[in-house]
Amino acid sequence: MKTLNLIKAALVGLAALGATPTGAFAEKLRVMTGAPSGVLNVPMNRAVVVESDEPFAEISIANAAIADISTLSERSIYVLGRAPGMTTMTLLAPDGSLITNVQVQVTPDVTEFKERLRQIMPNESIEVRTANDGIVLSGTISSAIMMNRAIELAERYAPNRVSNMMNIGGTQQVMLKVRFAEMSRSVSKDLSAALGVDYSAGSASGTTSLGPSMTGDGLGQLMIGGAIGNTQLAIAIEALEEKGVVRTLAEPNLTALSGQQAKFLAGGEYPIPVRDNDGVSINYKPFGVELEFTPRVVNGDQINLEMRAAVSGVDSSVNYTVDGFTLNSFKRRETSTTVELRDGQSFAIAGLLQDDFEDLVGQVPWLGDIPVLGALFRSTDYTRRQSELVIIVTPHLVTPVNGMALSLPTDRVKIPTEGELFLFGKTYGGTTAPKTGAAAEVAKQDFSGSYGYVME
């Protein structure tokens, strides 16, 4: 039985081999003649000196690319780690007999790596271990961005050999609140006048109309007529003004795990016929409120948000007829962007202020240019449309709660009895305060006026 004692790396030997000493390393091995010894662990780019109680005459290394060896004396061996991996070092006695086979395992230098981690991320609890020829990272880290930084640093010490077993602490679920708000206003004014003459003289008679034709449905029309001898005169005046206001408001909410995509659609699907070689098939186009986003919690309460939001609806004012099918057009407001903000902060990610103006004058040539009287031979249309659209997003970090703490729109609604429905005309039952559940908690609060889900 012979013993190999490992001591600190020799600085002179390191300088001779071009290695830079970054720390000390020592280990003891127990050697049995003719049998393999224990494993000698050597950090990469570091060296150890092995001393033997029995002089050796020859040493060899199976893979010089993993570890480099040289003799310092007949009892001392200098071992330098070159690349991660495992190889075998063989020692032979002067008579040619085998002293021992030493398994040399070269691992990444985690000592320096740990020191760099403490300097760069002092507040993170990261555990570093070696496994075969790689580095294993474990523990709990504060955010995904810190995890990526730790992995990037580990790749410098063990390229393509880093195993990530770290967990991200804190809240990693994001609820996104999106508000679509749109206001549209339109004003149109029409003023038309026409002069009609009906005459008869002997056997000659005729009717003449001067001015634009009336296109209205009778609303806002005024007819004035009279007769001069056999000639009848008629003046038709049409004046019409239309005003309209439209408000569109949608507030979809959606929750997703950090790094995972979530989709939301509240609306429907519109059938569209498509002609192909087999006849006519039906494709469906979705419409309504659409939301698609991917949140990433990058650092604490900082959220990177990649999203696409749209509001669409069927526009029945514009129709198309194709192969006997009447199709409607669609109105669609859509945005796609990537923003970064903190928990509870808001961004107006899209806005549109549109002001369209249009006027049209139709007249009888030359007669419509006559001052004052020319108004009888003109038709004037005036249209102005204004719209404003704003899309605001607000992310929140959320955690699961007990189901009893969540209320539903139906919690306060009770089906009416037959007496309440037929005798009193109530479409919903009495509003007796609930005794249990989230609705009971809401009922305990003192509210004045309407609250909750109200439909007018």
pLDDT reading at 4 higher than 50: no
Least confident of 52-56, 335-339, 347-351: 52-56
Any idea what DSSP says for residue 44? B
Looking at per-residue pLDDT, the higher value among 344 and 322 belongs to 344
pLDDT reading at 245 higher than 70: yes
- pLDDT the model gives residue 434: 61
pLDDT confidence tier of residue 439, bands split at 50, 70 and 90: low
pLDDT reading at 84 higher than 60: yes
Say whether 380 sits in a helix, a strand or coil: strand
Instruction: Please return the burial class of 381, using the count of CB atoms within 10 Å of its CB with bins 0-12, 13-18 and 19+.
Output: middle
pLDDT confidence tier of residue 14, bands split at 50, 70 and 90: very low
pLDDT reading at 32 higher than 80: no
Q: What is the mean pLDDT of the chain?
A: 77
pLDDT in tens, 142-177: 777 788 889 999 988 888 889 999 887 767 889 999
- pLDDT the model gives residue 8: 33
Question: Which of these, 242, 195, 198, lies nearest to 216 by C-alpha position?
Answer: 242
pLDDT confidence tier of residue 3, bands split at 50, 70 and 90: very low
Which residues make Cβ contacts (< 8 Å) with residue 238, sequence separation at least 6? 190, 191, 192, 193, 214, 215, 216, 220, 221, 222
In residues, how long is the chain? 456
CB atoms within 10 A of CB 444: 7
The mean pLDDT value for 10-21 works out to: 34
pLDDT reading at 390 higher than 50: yes
User: For the residues of 46-86, what is the DSSP string, one character each?
Assistant: -EEEEEESS--SEEEES-TTTEEEEESSSSEEEEEE-SSEE
Domains belonging to the chain, first-starting first, are 40-107 (2.60.40.1080), 110-168 (3.30.1340.30), 401-455 (no CATH)
Least confident of 196-210, 319-333, 395-409: 196-210
Whole-structure pTM over 0.85, yes or no? no
CA distances to 28, 268, 330 from 318, rounded to whole Å, are 88, 19, 9
- pLDDT the model gives residue 1: 34
